[in-house]
Amino acid sequence: MTTSPHVVVIGAGTLGMCTAINLVQQGARVTVIDANAIASGSSGRSVGVVGTQFTDPFEILLRVHAMRQFDSFESAGLRFNRIGYLRLARTEAQMALFHESVKMQAEAGFRSRVYQQDELTTLVPHMDPTGLAGAIFGPDNGFIDPHELCMLLAEKVREAGGSVRQFCKVESATRKAGGYRLETSKGPVDCDMVVNAAGAWAPQVAAIFGQTLHIHPERHEAVTILLDRPLDYTMPMVMDLVNGEGTGLNFRHEKPSELIAEVHKVSSPLPENPDFYNEQCEEESKVLLAELLLERVPDLPGARLGRGWAGLYPMTHDHRPFVGPVDSSEPTLITAAGACGYGIQLAPVIGQVAADWALHGAPISVPESERLAPTADRNVPLV
């Protein structure tokens, strides 16, 4: 390989664009190729939340590296809306985990605090805390616009001499001496390395190379909530899941008189076809969302449902992304996909680890991140 390999990144969502920026910053020649427009996949359908309120040290460590890059993207012009993140607990066992999380986050340099049930209305005056034990709150967490992030990174990649090709589908690939020839809908592209960052389509792209990748596209729905007048406080991101996972909802401030909410239901066991799925929010989900929202925050001024939509979480068996080679004997074919419901907040660190694999043959800059490699024990079907 030359000192400046040509890497093709397949997919211009958050994972592909964050991989591309990490690659060009280390001198690689990069071509990003997307079958559609930049951020037109899951990334453009997400609700853009970036948070650190986790109870697992590895999840927090990954976010330390992600947040460093978000800081640099913000310096480059990305708007990071620090509205805070409030994760609600229904049990004392969850509260005990939140106390541990506060300690872990403090060691990692993140501010957070546990709130008791009777303090919650100081953060969200409309909240009915019935059934809650309390919450954890991170004042510096917030949301970004993933489309804006991808466009910003595309500009930076181009400035560094890379290219981003849209409406150009990778259809087949052949291995050749020292690399690959990719056949695309706009002609062949030769390269030394490939990063599969095709999100819910990553299994299809893996199949082009004769690889099997177990990513299960799972449908999720979101709706805007319109209000008659602006709230006199900023609604933080509120994560309200029954028993910490499964069903429930999350909601946050979007504009002065608008919230955005995502409903979590027990999902279908069948994987969605990313080329043919219902991209609208179902009526039944809107009803569920309205009921849950009104229970938790009654009396929002004139609250009514606005536009709804659906998108795909690219799920893996253990709910952690695949970053690294599927086959260790082919280190020039790297996967960066399967980010589940965290592919906005984790994209920068996934991009960093993917670039490490591509340029250094190992994830050298993020401790323990070899755990994200799609090894045979992890790359298994979802039950």
Ligand X SMILES: Cc1cc2nc3c(=O)[nH]c(=O)nc-3n(C[C@H](O)[C@H](O)[C@H](O)COP(=O)(O)OP(=O)(O)OC[C@H]3O[C@@H](n4cnc5c(N)ncnc54)[C@H](O)[C@@H]3O)c2cc1C
Residue 275: how many CA atoms within 13 Å on its side-chain side? Answer: 5
Q: Does position 189 bind ligand X by CB under 6 A?
A: no
* Stretch in the footprint of ligand X (CB under 6 A) among 86-94, 228-236, 290-298, 342-350: 342-350
Residue 67 vs 133, nearer CB to ligand X: 67
Q: Does position 43 bind ligand X by CB under 6 A?
A: yes
CB atoms within 10 A of CB 157: 23
Name the minimum Å distance from CB 134 to ligand X. 23
C-alpha 205/C-alpha 222 separation (Å) is 27
Query: Could you say which of 28, 127, 222, 263 contacts ligand X (CB under 6 A)?
Result: 222
H or E stretch at 126: none
Residue 243: how many CA atoms within 13 Å on its side-chain side? Answer: 2
Query: Could you say which of 84, 248, 308, 314 contacts ligand X (CB under 6 A)?
Result: 314
Q: Does position 11 bind ligand X by CB under 6 A?
A: yes
Residue 137 vs 313, nearer CB to ligand X: 313
C-alpha 50/C-alpha 143 separation (Å) is 5
Residue 101 CA: distances (Å) to CA of 59, 349, 383? 11, 20, 29
Q: Does position 47 bind ligand X by CB under 6 A?
A: yes
Q: Does position 316 bind ligand X by CB under 6 A?
A: no
Core vs surface per residue 224-233: b (16+ CB within 10 A) or e: bbbbeeebee
Residue 10 vs 366, nearer CB to ligand X: 10
Name the minimum Å distance from CB 278 to ligand X. 12
Residue 83: how many CA atoms within 13 Å on its side-chain side? Answer: 23
Residue 73 vs 342, nearer CB to ligand X: 342
Q: Does position 263 bind ligand X by CB under 6 A?
A: no
Site for ligand X, rule CB under 6 A: 10-16, 33-36, 40-43, 45-49, 169-170, 197-201, 205, 220, 222, 262, 311-314, 337, 339-345
